[in-house]
Amino acid sequence: MIPRYSLPEMSGIWSDENRFRKMLDVELYACEALARQGKIPKSSLANIKKRADFNVDRIREIEKVTNHDVIAFIKNVSEYIGEDAKYVHMGLTSSDVLDTALSAIMQEACDILISDVKKVLAALKTKARKHKTTLMIGRTHSVHAEPMTFGLKMALYFDEMKRNLARLEKARGIVSVGKISGAVGTYANIDPAVERYVCAKMGLKPANIATQILQRDRHAEFLTAIAITGTSLEKFTTEFRNLQHTEIGEVQEYFSKTQKGSSAMPHKRNPILCERVSGLARILRANAHAAMDDMVLWHERDISHSSVERVILPDSTILLDYMLDKFTGIVSSLVVNSDRMLENLEMSQGVVFSGRLLLELIKKGLTRNEGYDIVQKAAFAAKAEGISFKEALMKDEKISALLNKEEVEDIFDHRYHVRNVEMIFRKVGV
């Protein structure tokens, strides 16, 4: 991933230095396990652990000749160890090392993402509580529906992010497996006890069964959880963008005093971070699709997945880390124009209370169809005559015959539509 969309800690996890370090850990733990079985002399193990190291530039140099990264890695490590290097990689295949190391890296990456999501949850909770009773109009099909609060919108996002947290935690468990079972997973040249030892040391579980590789449905689930989380962020930021429309103006992405919105139009304040998050989510979805393609390999393995994973795994984790960080800032600094929300709520002159009126007419004995037709006629009349919905109701003889003035006034009480906000907040946990 390009530096523009990368944060240092996550990028460091995907560095060649960390990758080869994890691979060396696998090799050394395998040597320890074999020494415990008496297959490697204790003196040789001590020498291996003391001298084993690698140099990334040297590995790249060797790979130009071998055209095989693991062989280049082992050859470079052997240069440090000397004669006892013959015990390194004994009974293992390349994917034992690569896949087990990759699982440890994905585990580290997922830990950062989980921490990021918790920060998003904290920001959403704070915003939801602050605006628990901030009235606004709810919209369906982009048209005024009924009153709600901005806090409810934030509570909805909070609840969705809790599901994303659960997805990432589950995905972490799915990818936290290793395999040290040899060329096609039969343990023909390696004892299963070595696998158990290495995985325990790496903080992983042994796979129940593998071919030459760990099965890629695990990686696909990991990247799908990432893609869903990113798409949730796109959903939230798209709403913020819509609410920032000049014609709506209910929220605004924070705009610093030195920030510029347009090279041609000095007045512009554009929701650029929200748009950036929305755009980057597309990459996460595409990468998840590629991860599902990687599930389909020939026989016990091929390496068509390898080149893809070298791109999509770092890119997706780095991007989501960046997006979560930006979204936390967006929520925390989001400008909420509560006065404009009230203005917009009143813009439709009361017709948004038509549903409540319909229910009251049904209580008075009308059928739903009868009540609906009466309410719709009054709503359309208010629009046509340029008067408020309340005025239209008072002029309607059928409604006046069923409801007195106090009952009509009560229909237009905003508190009716938000009376259950506290109950919803308790259910959501904000």
351's tokens:
């017709």
219's tokens:
């990686």
- Which residue carries 């959501």 as its tokens? 428
Phi, psi torsion values for 192, nearest 5 degrees: -55, -25
Q: How far apart are the first and last CA of the chain?
A: 35
Annotated catalytic residue within 141, 142, 256, 299: 141
Distance CA 99, CA 33 (A): 18
- Which residue carries 């893809």 as its tokens? 308
Q: Is 141 a catalytic residue?
A: yes
Phi, psi torsion values for 145, nearest 5 degrees: -115, -90
Q: Is 94 a catalytic residue?
A: no
- For the beta carbon of residue 42, count every other beta carbon within 10 angstroms: 10
- Please count the residues of the chain: 430
Name which of 32, 83, 74, 31 is nearest 53 in CA terms: 74
Write the CB contacts of 357 (distance below 8 Å, at least 6 apart in sequence): 375, 378, 393, 399, 411
Distance CA 101, CA 23 (A): 5
Annotated catalytic residue within 43, 262, 304, 307: 262
Describe the crossing of helices 42-51 and 16-36 by its angle, rounded to 10 degrees.
170
Strands 143-149 and 205-206: unpaired
Q: What letter represents residue 314's amino acid? A: P
Residues designated catalytic: 141, 262
